[in-house]
């Protein structure tokens, strides 16, 4: 019985090692896979201006934004075409494990919990979060306690969900797939506010005169280190290439230029 048990354990160990070896081999070959295919598939949720959003370009619907510019720069570095895979934000990271995407660039916060399942590049952007409310309610909600018993929206699968849960104690968190949904829910009175990243919040408020940014200050979550590119777990070689592009663009200021350019574009598009 002991030999059988040891044999089973041994076979299980071999199988585990083989599985790990195959997974590591697959992940480490992610760079070769992309180059061989000649296409870099990029997952994003196009409802996050100025990082990724939709607009009519040359008579056709197009997905643009500073994250798209970064994706194109990575594609150029690799010498491949870029193929945008549009989806709801809560599916963006999952697309890396299913093989639907090679990388994900969608204002994704780099957190320790997420790092357990994906590779992350270096951070390319950091920002605060704002609480958007109806302008008519601006003086009604001046402290966190004022939101007790109220409904606060956040994008499903985002870091903003945790901000509502951890900082707005007593408020009910309403998870919605799109930021546009959050804006509509505020305007319709179904929720009393929404936690949205700084530039995106400013963009939506500028386009909606009946909305405003609350006077309530939100803290940056301790487990948030800014936005980064997500890749399949173990894809170290592809991560190196992505980091080299980010390093260069942070050094020459290209990322900031693209953010400001696309912010102006998103404002003009409304």
Q: Is 269 exposed, middle or buried (0-12, 13-18, 19+ CB in 10 A)?
A: middle
Residue where one domain finishes, among candidates 170, 186, 213? 213
> What is the chain's length?
270
Residues 232 and 110 in one domain: yes
Interval 199-229: pLDDT, tens: 889 889 988 999 999 999 998 776 557 899 9
| pTM of the full structure | 0.72
CATH of the domain at 173: 3.40.190.10
* Dihedral Cα 9, 10, 14, 20, nearest 10 deg: 40
Residues 201 and 136 in one domain: yes
Query: Is 178 contained in some domain?
Result: yes
pLDDT bin (cut points 50, 70, 90) of residue 11 is: very low
Residues 107 and 179 in one domain: no
Q: Is the pLDDT of residue 15 over 60?
A: no
Query: Is 138 contained in some domain?
Result: yes
The whole-chain average pLDDT of the chain stands at: 88
Concatenated DSSP letters of the chain: -HHHHHHHHHHHHHHHHHHHHHHHHHHHTHHHHHHHHTEEEEEE-SEETTTEEEEEETTEEEEESHHHHHHHHHHHHHT-EEEEEE--GGGTTHHHHHTS-SEE-SS-B--HHHHTTEEE----B---EEEEEEGGGTTT--SGGGGTT-EEEEETTSHHHHHHHHHSTTPEEEEES-HHHHHHHHHHTSSSEEEEEHHHHHHHHHH-TTEEE-S---PPPTT---B--EEETT-HHHHHHHHHHHHHHHHTTHHHHHHHHHHHHHHHT-
Interval 90-124: pLDDT, tens: 999 999 999 999 999 999 989 888 999 999 999 99
Residue where one domain finishes, among candidates 183, 213, 243? 213
Q: Is the peptide bond before 248 cis (omega within 30 degrees of 0)?
A: no
pLDDT at 7: 39
- Residues paired with residue 205 on neighbouring β-strands, in sequence order: none
Residues 113 and 233 in one domain: yes
Q: Is the pLDDT of residue 26 over 90?
A: no
Tally of structural domains, the chain:
2
The residue-averaged pLDDT of 135-159 equals 95
**CA-to-CA distance for 137 and 214, rounded, in angstroms?**
9
Query: Is 177 contained in some domain?
Result: yes
Domain residues for the domain of 143 are: 129-213
Strand 103-104 versus strand 39-44 pairing type: parallel
Residues 134 and 202 in one domain: yes
The residue-averaged pLDDT of 172-195 equals 96
Residue 179 vs residue 2, higher pLDDT: 179
Residues 189 and 66 in one domain: no
Residues 39 and 107 in one domain: yes
């Amino acid at each position: 019985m002991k030999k059988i048990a040891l044999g089973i354990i041994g076979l299980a160990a071999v199988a585990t090692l083989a599985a790990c070896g195959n997974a590591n081999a697959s992940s480490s070959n992610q760079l070769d896979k992309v180059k061989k295919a000649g296409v870099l598939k990029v997952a994003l949720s196009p409802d996050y201006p100025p990082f990724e959003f939709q607009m009519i370009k040359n008579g056709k619907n197009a997905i643009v934004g500073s994250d798209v510019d970064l994706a194109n720069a990575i594609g150029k570095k690799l010498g491949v075409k870029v193929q945008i895979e549009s989806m709801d934000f809560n599916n963006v990271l999952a697309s890396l494990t299913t093989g639907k995407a090679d990388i994900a660039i969608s204002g994704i916060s780099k957190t320790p919990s997420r790092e357990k399942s994906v590779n992350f590049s270096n951070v390319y952007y950091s920002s605060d979060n704002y609480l958007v409310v109806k302008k008519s309610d601006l003086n009604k909600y001046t402290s966190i306690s004022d939101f007790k018993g109220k409904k606060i929206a956040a994008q499903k699968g985002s870091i903003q969900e945790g901000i509502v849960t951890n900082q707005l104690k007593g408020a009910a968190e309403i998870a919605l797939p799109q930021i546009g949904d959050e804006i509509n829910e505020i305007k319709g009175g179904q929720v009393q506010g929404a936690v949205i990243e700084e530039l995106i919040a400013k963009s939506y408020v500028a386009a909606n005169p009946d909305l405003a940014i609350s006077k309530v200050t939100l803290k940056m979550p301790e487990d948030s280190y800014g936005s980064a590119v997500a890749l399949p777990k173990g894809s170290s070689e592809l991560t190196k290439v992505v980091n080299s592009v980010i390093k260069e663009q942070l050094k020459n200021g290209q990322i900031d230029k693209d953010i400001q350019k696309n912010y102006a574009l998103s404002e003009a598009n409304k």
